[in-house]
Structure 1
Amino acid sequence: MPSFKESEVGNVAKVKNVQPKIRKSRGDVFASWMFLVPTMIFLGITALLPLLYSLYLSFFDLKLNLPNAVPQFVGLGNYIKMFTDASLGISTWNTFLFAVVSVALEVVVGLVLAMALCSDKMWARIATSIFLIPMIMAPVAVGTLWRMMLDSTTGIINYFLSFVGVPSITWLSSTHTAMLAVILVNVWQLVPWVTIICAAGLKALPADCLEAACVDGATNGQIFRKIVLPMMSPILTVVIMLRFVDAFKVFDTVYVMTNGGPGTATEMLPNYIYKQGLRFFNAGYSASLAIVFVVVMTVITFGFLKLRDRLEAEV
C-alpha cells in the first residue's frame, strides 16, 4: 500500500492538474457584447454588405458606362472568362513575383536590422524612431517622391550614379527595370515595420537559453540557427503572412509610380481589377475578380495560421 506521503503527493498532483473553470457572469457577457456590437455593425455595413453585393454582381454582365444599363445574368460566365484572360495571367504573375521578392528582402533585411537595434540604449531608440519615417508616410506620397527621384532626366538617383560613371537609367519607363524599382521602393517603405516587429520578438526571447548556449561554447552562428530562429519562427510566420497578403493588394504606390506600365510590366492584380471596373466599366467581371481575390487571400491566410500554430507547438 502507498504510504501517507505518497498518497498526499498524488492528491496534490491531481489538484494541480485541475484547471479552474472561470465562469463569466451575465453582466460581463452583456458588457462584452455591448462593446462588440457597434464594431460588428460598422464592419457589416462597410465590409460585409459590399462583399455580398460584389458576389451578387459577379453573376451578371453590367456595363457601367451605358445609360439605363440592365444587368444580364451570365451565371459563372465571368468566372470561366478568367481562364482565358491572358492579361489576368500576366498581372497574377507580376503580383506573385512582386510579393515573393519584396517580402523575402524585407524579412531578411528587417531581421538583420532588428538584431542590430535590439538594445535599450538611447542610440537604438533614436535609430528606431528615424526608421519609422518611411513606414508612416502615405503610399501616394511615397510613390510621388520616388517617381521624381527615379526620373531618367531630372531624378536625383541618376544624378548620384553619374558620379561613379553609371549612365542614365530609365528606371520607370523600361520593362527591365520598372519591376525592380517598384520592389525596391516597397522594401524601403516597409522594412522598418518588419524591423520593429522582429526587434520586439528578439527582446522577448528568454535570456537563460541564450546564456546557457554561451556557457556551453556555442558560436553566434550556432545560437542564431539553433535557438533564435526556431524560437522566432512563429513571429516570423505572422510577419510573412501579413506582408505577403499586403503585398498582394498593393495599389497606391504602383499606381502613382507606373500605373502598371510600361505596357504590363508592373500590372498588379488590384490595378487590373480597378481598370476592369472603372476604366473598362466591366462591373460584373471586376466583381468576380475581386471575389476570387478575397477567397484566395483567405485560404493563404488560413494556411499561414495553421503553420504558425504548428511552429508554436514545436517551440
Structure 2
Amino acid sequence: MKAQNKANGAPKMKHRNETVWSWLFMLPTMIFLGVTALLPLLYSVYLSFFKYKINLPNAVPIFNGLGNYIKMFTDKTLAVSTGNTVLFAVISVALELVIGIIVAMVLCSDMLWAKICTTILLIPMIMAPVAIGTTWRMMLDGTTGIINYLLSFLGIPSINWLSNPKYAMPAVIFVNVWQLVPWVAIIGAAGLKALPADCFEAARIDGAKNSQIFAKIVLPMISPLLVIITMLRFVDAFKVFDTVYTMTNGGPGTATEMLPNYIYKQGLKFFDAGYTAALAVMFVLIMTVVTLIFLKLRKFVEEKVA
C-alpha cells in the first residue's frame, strides 16, 4: 500500500517541480517586461487623467479627469489619422497576403533556385525601416528619383509621388508591401511544406485540378496559419512609424498621417504629455481588442478544420 502511494505521489512531485522550475526560468523575463513595459503603461494610464505640458517651466500635472479622452471625439486630425491607418492596414495586409501566398507556393520547391530566391527575399526584411524609408524617398523623388527616370523611357511624365496627396498613400503602401511580402511568403511556405502530401496525391488520383486542390484542400488546411499571419501583420501595420516618418512625416498635409506618427507629434512636438498618454492608452486597448478578435477567429477556424 505504501509503495503504491509512493508511486502515485512521484508523478505529482515531478510535475510540481517542473512547474516551479518553469516559473523560475520565466521570472527574469517577467521582471524585465514588468519594468520596461508594464510600469510605463501603468504610468501612462495615470498620466492620461492629467493635463500636463512638459515644455512649460515648472510645469506640474493638473488633474483633468476624462478631459483627454473626451477631447479625442472632437479631434479632427485624430479622426483623419485613424482613417488613414485603417486604410493603410487593410490594403497593405490584403496585398501582402495575396502576393505572399502566391510567392509561397512558388518557394515550396526544394530545388536550389527556390533556396536562392528565399535568401534574396530576406533582404527587405533585414533592412532597417529607417533605411528603407530613406532609400525609397530618394527613389520616389519627383525631380531626381530613379523611378520617374525609368518611367520617362515609357513616355510617362514625372509624378510627385510623395508631395502629391493623390499618390503619397499608394506610395507608402507599396513600400510597406514590398518590405513585408517576403515575411508572409516565408511563413506561408513553411506552412505549405508542413501539409501532408497524401491528401494531394489522393485528390490528383480523383481527377482534381490544381485550382480545386488549392481551394478545397490547401486553403482550408492553412487557414489557421493565415489568421495568425493576418493578425500579426494587421497589428504591425497599425504600429507603422519609421518608414512613413522618413518618407513623408505624415504629409503632404495629413494625407499619410498615421496614428503612431500623430501620437509622436503630440508628445514630442506639442509636448502635451497628458493627451499623448491618453492616445497611447486607447491605442493599446484597441490593439488588444483586435488581437482577441483574431484569436477567437483562429479558434473558430481550427475547430472548423478539425
Same fold (TM over 0.5): yes
Deviation at 1:60, TM superposition (A): 0.1
Deviation at 1:121, TM superposition (A): 1.1
CA–CA distance in 1 between the matches of 2:120 and 2:243?
Answer: 21
Matched, 1:268 2:258: yes
Give aligned pairs, total: 295
**1:74 aligns with one of 58, 64, 74:** 64
Matches within 5 A, 1:34-73: 34-73=24-63
Matches within 5 A, 1:285-300: 285-300=275-290
Deviation at 1:23, TM superposition (A): 6.8
Residues 205/146 of structure 1: CA separation in 2 closer, same or farther (3 Å cut): same
Equivalent residue of 1:208, what SS?
Answer: helix
Matched, 1:277 2:267: yes
Equivalent residue of 2:177, what SS?
Answer: helix
Matched, 1:105 2:95: yes
- The match for 2:152 is 162
Deviation at 1:27, TM superposition (A): 2.9
CA–CA distance in 2 between the matches of 1:211 and 1:72?
Answer: 70
Deviation at 1:156, TM superposition (A): 0.5
Aligned alpha-carbon RMSD (Å): 1.0
Deviations 1:2-56 (A, max 9, x none): xxxxxxxxxxxxxxxxxxx987444322221121000000000000000000000
**1:249 aligns with one of 239, 260, 263:** 239
Residues 23/311 of structure 1: CA separation in 2 closer, same or farther (3 Å cut): farther
Residues 306/149 of structure 1: CA separation in 2 closer, same or farther (3 Å cut): same
Deviations 1:94-135 (A, max 9, x none): 000000000000000000000011011111001000001001
CA–CA distance in 2 between the matches of 1:311 and 1:260?
Answer: 37
Residues 23/211 of structure 1: CA separation in 2 closer, same or farther (3 Å cut): farther
| Structure 2 portions without partners, runs of 5+ | 1-10
Q: Provide the identity percentage.
A: 72
Equivalent residue of 1:177, what SS?
Answer: helix
**1:230 aligns with one of 209, 220, 223:** 220
CA–CA distance in 2 between the matches of 1:128 and 1:28?
Answer: 39
Matched, 1:149 2:139: yes
Aligned letter for 1:193? W
Aligned letter for 2:173? I
Aligned letter for 1:54? S
Aligned letter for 2:73? F
Matches within 5 A, 1:109-148: 109-148=99-138
CA–CA distance in 2 between the matches of 1:197 and 1:107?
Answer: 11
CA–CA distance in 2 between the matches of 1:304 and 1:140?
Answer: 29
Aligned letter for 2:93? V
Deviations 1:166-206 (A, max 9, x none): 00000000000000000000000000000001000100111
Deviations 1:65-120 (A, max 9, x none): 00110111011110011011100000000000000000000000000000011011
CA–CA distance in 2 between the matches of 1:221 and 1:28?
Answer: 48
